[in-house]
């Protein structure tokens, strides 16, 4: 009952869910979330956890853009469950993977960090299981670290406030997801927030 479904197991769906309150990148924080990526290893497209200063109603593009593509001044941690015709999309991977995007393009431009396989075993994450995702921000060192299923998978070091958010430290935070020609039910559950 504390979970939010982002997409049903239906093609061409788009879902975005934002917190009504903002989070401040001028301070340390730690977010723990549970994610369900679906139960169809041939499904698509994936989820993001996104920070953006624009609005608590923002929503990006569907399909491989996973609901966050096109959002300006946004930092999106993508959990991509579909290989979009590699090698045409050269930054996609065969394994379900994690990347950090800051340019608003989840298919055609280089990620700011990653991609790396979500699992160290390089398997699928749309396998019917719920996975814990931890996002940790250290405001002093300006390091954002992403843990997947208890393992550190990605770190990103940048002055995010000035270089991504246009100087705004307080931003909206939430999750997005999308399906395209293939689908999966996708949801997330905010578990804990430590500021």
Give the pLDDT band (50/70/90) at residue 193: low
* Calpha distance 101→142 (Å, rounded): 16
* Calpha distance 130→63 (Å, rounded): 22
Is it the case that residue 128 has pLDDT exceeding 60?
yes
Amino acid 88: pLDDT: 66
Q: What is the mean pLDDT of residues 2-14?
A: 94
DSSP for the chain reads ---EEEE-SSSS-EEEEE-SS-EETTS-EEEEEEEE--S-TT---EEEEEEESS-TT----SGGGTTTTT-TT-EEEEEE-S--TTTTSTT--SS-EEEEE-SS-SSSS--SEEEEESSTT---S-SS-EEEEEEEEETTTTEEEEEETTEEEEEEES-HHHHTSTT--EEEEEEEEE-SSS---EEEEEEEEE-
Average pLDDT, the chain: 92
Is it the case that residue 160 has pLDDT exceeding 90?
yes
Which is higher by pLDDT, 129 or 55?
129
Amino acid 89: pLDDT: 65
Is it the case that residue 195 has pLDDT exceeding 60?
no
69-82 exposure pattern, b = at least 16 Cβ within 10 A, e = fewer: bebebbbbbbbbbb
Cα Rg of the chain (Å, integer): 15
Is it the case that residue 167 has pLDDT exceeding 90?
yes
Instruction: Give the tokens for residue 174.
Output: 């939430």
Q: What is the mean pLDDT of residues 12-35?
A: 95
Give the pLDDT band (50/70/90) at residue 190: confident
Is it the case that residue 148 has pLDDT exceeding 80?
yes
State pLDDT tens for residues 73-115.
999 999 999 988 656 666 788 899 999 999 888 888 889 999 9
Amino acid 107: pLDDT: 81
């Amino acid at each position: 009952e504390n979970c939010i479904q982002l997409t049903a197991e239906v093609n061409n769906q788009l879902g975005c869910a934002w917190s009504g309150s903002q989070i401040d990148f001028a301070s340390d924080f730690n977010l723990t979330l549970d994610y369900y990526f679906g139960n169809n290893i041939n499904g698509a497209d994936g989820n993001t956890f996104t920070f953006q200063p624009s609005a608590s109603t923002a929503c990006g593009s569907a399909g491989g853009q996973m609901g966050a593509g096109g959002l300006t001044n946004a930092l999106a941690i993508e959990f991509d469950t579909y290989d979009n015709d590699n090698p045409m999309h050269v930054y996609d991977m065969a394994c379900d993977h994690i990347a950090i995007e800051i340019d608003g393009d989840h298919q055609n431009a280089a990620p700011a960090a990653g991609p790396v396989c979500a699992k160290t075993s390089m398997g699928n994450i749309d396998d019917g299981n719920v996975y814990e995702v931890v996002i940790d921000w250290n405001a002093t060192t300006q390091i954002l670290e992403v843990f997947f299923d208890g393992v550190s998978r990605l770190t990103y070091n940048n002055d995010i406030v000035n270089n991504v958010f246009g100087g705004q430290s307080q931003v909206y935070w939430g999750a997005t997801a999308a399906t395209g020609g293939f689908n999966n039910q996708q949801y997330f559950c905010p578990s804990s927030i430590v500021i």
